[in-house]
Amino acid sequence: MRTGPVETVSAEDRDNSRLGGGAVAAPGVLVILGASGDLTKRLLMPALYNLVCDGLLPEACAVIGMARRSLDTTAFREQQRQDIQRFHTRRDFDADRWAWLESRLHYTAGDFSDPEAYARLRDLVLAVGGDCGAAGNTLLYLAISPEFFQTVNGLLDGAGFTRLPGRRKIIVEKPFGKDLPSAVALNRSLLTHWREDEIYRIDHYLGKETVQNLLAFRMANGIFAPLWNAAHIDHIQISATETVGVETRGEYYDKTGVVRDMLQNHLMQMLAYVCMELPVSLHPSAVRDEKSRLLRSVRLLDPTAVARDCVRGQYGAGTKADGAVVSGYRQEPNVDPNSNTPTYAAIKLHLDNDRWAGMPVYLRSGKSLWKRGTEIVVQFRPQAGDGGEPNVLIFHIQPFQGVEIRIQAKRPGPAFDLQRAGMRFDYAETFEATRGTGYEVLLYSAFNGDPTLFSRTDFVEAGWRIVQPVLDLWNETRADDFPNYMAGTWGPLAAHALLARDDRRWHECITREVLLRSEFFSHAPAVLLNNLTLACQPRAVKAGATVVERGEQSSDLYVVCRGELEALDEDGRRLGGVKEGECFGEMALLDNRPRNATVRAVSPCDLLVLAATDFRRIVEDFPEAEAQFRRIAERRR
Ligand code: BG6
pTM exceeds cut of 0.85 = yes
pLDDT of 593 > 90? The answer is no
Q: Residue 578 sits in a domain of what CATH number?
A: 2.60.120.10
Judge whether 425 and 400 are in contact, CB under 8 Å. Answer: no
Q: Across 123-127, 549-553, 590-594, which has the greatest mean pLDDT?
A: 123-127
* 6 belongs to a structural domain: no
Report the domain count for the chain: 3
Q: Check residue 20 and give its pLDDT.
A: 58
Distance of CA 49 from the midpoint of ligand 1 (Å): 22
Distance of CA 397 from the midpoint of ligand 1 (Å): 13
Residues 50 and 123 in one domain: yes
Residues 478 and 331 in one domain: yes
The beta strands (E) that lie in 334-435 are given as 344-350, 360-366, 373-380, 392-398, 402-410, 418-426
pLDDT tens, position by position, 290-315:
999 999 999 999 999 999 999 999 99
Residues 465 and 560 in one domain: no
Looking at ligand 1, which residue's alpha carbon is closest to its atom 11? 2
Q: Residue 487 sits in a domain of what CATH number?
A: 3.30.360.10
Residues 496 and 519 in one domain: no
Residues 161 and 89 in one domain: yes
Q: Residue 140 sits in a domain of what CATH number?
A: 3.40.50.720
pLDDT of 50 > 60? The answer is yes
pLDDT tens, position by position, 542-577:
899 999 999 988 889 999 988 899 999 999 999 999
Q: Check residue 2 and give its pLDDT.
A: 40
Q: Vertex 257, ends 254 and 262: CA angle to 5°? A: 140
Q: Which atom of ligand 1 is nearest to the CA of 205?
A: 14
Q: Which atom of ligand 1 is nearest to the CA of 246?
A: 8
Contacts of 267 (CB under 8 A, 6+ apart): 238, 240, 363, 365
pLDDT of 596 > 70? The answer is yes
pLDDT tens, position by position, 224-273:
999 999 999 999 999 999 999 998 899 999 999 999 999 999 999 999 99
User: Which alpha helices (DSSP H) does 103-208 contain, by range?
Assistant: 115-132, 149-158, 180-193
Distance of CA 244 from the midpoint of ligand 1 (Å): 10
Q: Check residue 282 and give its pLDDT.
A: 92
Measure the N-to-C terminal CA separation of the chain; round to a whole number of Å.
51
Rg (CA), the chain: 27
Residues 315 and 350 in one domain: yes
pLDDT tens, position by position, 520-546:
898 899 889 988 988 898 888 889 999
375 Cβ closer than 6 Å to some ligand 1 atom: no
pLDDT of 323 > 80? The answer is no
**Boundary-marking domain end, from 183, 202, 221:** 202
Residues 228 and 111 in one domain: no
Domain housing 56:
11-202
Looking at ligand 1, which residue's alpha carbon is closest to its atom 8? 261
* 98 belongs to a structural domain: yes
What average pLDDT does this structure show over 117-139? 95
Q: What is the mean pLDDT of the chain?
A: 92
Residues 312 and 344 in one domain: yes
**Boundary-marking domain end, from 145, 176, 202:** 202
Q: pLDDT: is 304 or 384 the higher one? A: 304
What average pLDDT does this structure show over 158-163? 96
Q: How far apart are CA 363 and CA 240, in angstroms?
A: 8
Looking at ligand 1, which residue's alpha carbon is closest to its atom 9? 2
242 Cβ closer than 6 Å to some ligand 1 atom: yes
Q: Is 283 a catalytic residue?
A: no
Contacts of 488 (CB under 8 A, 6+ apart): 243, 318, 319, 320, 321, 326, 368, 369, 370, 562
2 Cβ closer than 6 Å to some ligand 1 atom: yes
Residues 163 and 247 in one domain: no
Residues 108 and 237 in one domain: no
Distance of CA 330 from the midpoint of ligand 1 (Å): 20
Distance of CA 238 from the midpoint of ligand 1 (Å): 15
Q: How far apart are CA 7 and CA 174, in angstroms?
A: 22
From the CB of residue 137, how many other CB atoms can be counted at a distance below 10 Å?
23
**Boundary-marking domain end, from 439, 471, 500:** 500
Nearest CA to 46 among 74, 75, 12, 19?
Answer: 19
Judge whether 186 and 177 are in contact, CB under 8 Å. Answer: yes
Q: Which atom of ligand 1 is nearest to the CA of 249?
A: 8
Q: Which atom of ligand 1 is nearest to the CA of 253?
A: 8
Distance of CA 437 from the midpoint of ligand 1 (Å): 13
Biggest CA-to-CA distance, the chain: 88
* 434 belongs to a structural domain: no
Judge whether 448 and 62 are in contact, CB under 8 Å. Answer: no
Residues 523 and 598 in one domain: yes
Residues 321 and 460 in one domain: yes
Task: Out of 13, 206, 266, give the residue to mutate to test ligand 1, the one with the largest number of ligand atoms within 8 Å of its CB.
Answer: 266
Nearest CA to 393 among 223, 539, 527, 537?
Answer: 223
Q: Which atom of ligand 1 is nearest to the CA of 208?
A: 14
Q: Which of 266, 350, 396, 496 is catalytic?
A: 266
DSSP state of 633: H
Q: Vertex 181, ends 175 and 186: CA angle to 5°? A: 50
